[in-house]
Structures are given as C-alpha cells and as structure tokens.
Amino acid sequence: MKETKSRLVNSIKYTGFFGIIVVLFIYLQMLFRIYYADVCFENAVRSIDRGEYDIAVVYVNQAIKSNSEEPNYLRLKAKALILISTDATGDESYEYKTVALDSLRKAYELNPNNLVTIRNSVPLYYYLSVHDYSLPPSVDNLDDRFIRYAADFFETVKERYSHDVGVITLIAKYENRLGLYEEYNDSVSLVEKLRPDLLDWHTNFN
C-alpha cells in the first residue's frame, strides 16, 4: 500500500514537472515568434526606405506568418504593394492593389478600436485610389476602381469617431483630394460643430 502511494506521488511530481517544461517551451516558442516577426517587420521598413518594395513584401509576409495578430504588419504590406502598383499597369496594378485592399481590411478587422492603425490607414486608402501618388490629384490620376472603397472606409471611421475632430479633419483632407465633395462637405459640417475655428486656419480646409 505504501509502495503504491509512493509511486502515485512520484508520478504526479513527474507529470507536474513535465507539464511545466511543456508550458515553458510553448511560452519561449511564442516569444521567439513575436521577436522574429518584429525583426522581419523592421527589415521590411528599411527595405521600403531603400525603395526595395518587393523585398519588403517578402519580409512582411514572414512577419505576418510568425504573428498574424499584429495589424501594423498588414498595414505595412498594403503600403509596399501600393508602392509596387505605381510601376505596374493594367491588370497587374489592379492585382497588387486588390491584395493591398485585402490587407487593409484585415488590419482593421483585427482591432477596429486601434485608432493609430486607423489613422495610418487613411492616407493608404487615398494612395490606393490614385494611379501615381507622386503626382497631384486630378481627374486623370484617380483610380475609379478603388475610390468607392476609400469612401466607404472614410464613412465607417467617421461614424465611429464622429466626436474626434482630429480624425474628421484628416479624412476631410483626402475626401477633398479624391473629389468626394459630398462626403467632404459632411466632414466640414462635423468640424463646424466640434471646432469651427479650424475651418478658418487649418490647411485641410483651405
């Protein structure tokens, strides 16, 4: 009887120790994936700064594979793809932008309450809606295939942050550039209620 109890205690001790090792291993593995994802993300950022957009996509895809819950990775992927699309034409440009749009949507869905990601996504929706981001906005430079997606995103954000004058002011800037004048006037009305003085001096309204 004593021998049976002793074996049972030893078994529990062994199982408990083994369980701790397994948990520790999983935790360290998770930390490594997060660290590796951050390293890949930084490499992607540096690649974009050097104009190596294709390489940036490779790095950021590795980051997403290691940590698929970080919206900033998806946003950076969208940025790289939009930059690539400016040197592409026709169907190829459309395909790059379509994947970029999908990345922006997933970034938003991961954390719709992350205001930093949302604010940083606003200009990307604008760049998605023009053919050449280096040229001033004009009728000939607008990409009609994506303007509606930008307008829908802007409207969603305005509804969620209708009392955030900074967000509304930022969106108004790009609505005006894209010729979304009805939506722009709506933004002006919101700002007039929140901070009417901005309409007199802020560059986004002049």
φ and ψ at 161, to 5 degrees?
-120, 50
Dig out the tokens for 89 from the structure: 């034409």
Burial 99-113 (b: 16+ CB within 10 A, else e): bbbebbebbbebeee
Q: What is the pTM of this model?
A: 0.82
Q: What is the mean pLDDT of residues 122-151?
A: 89
Q: Contact at 8 Å (CB) between 34 and 44?
A: no
pLDDT value for 20: 63
pLDDT > 60? residue 140: yes
pLDDT > 50? residue 181: yes
Dig out the tokens for 140 from the structure: 């000939």
Q: What is the mean pLDDT of residues 131-151?
A: 87
The alpha-helical segments, DSSP class H, found in 67-203 are 71-85, 90-110, 115-128, 144-160, 165-177, 181-194, 198-201
Residue with tokens 């390489």: 55
Q: What is the mean pLDDT of residues 159-178?
A: 94
pLDDT value for 155: 96
| Dist CA 25 CA 105 (whole Å) | 34
pLDDT value for 91: 87
Among candidate residues 25, 28, 22, 56, the one with its CA nearest the CA of residue 42 = 56
Q: Assign 137 a pLDDT band (cuts: 50, 70, 90).
A: confident
Q: Determine the Cα angle at 67 with ends 64 and 73, to 5°.
A: 45
pLDDT tens for residues 63-117?
999 999 999 999 999 999 999 998 887 889 999 999 999 999 999 999 888 898 8
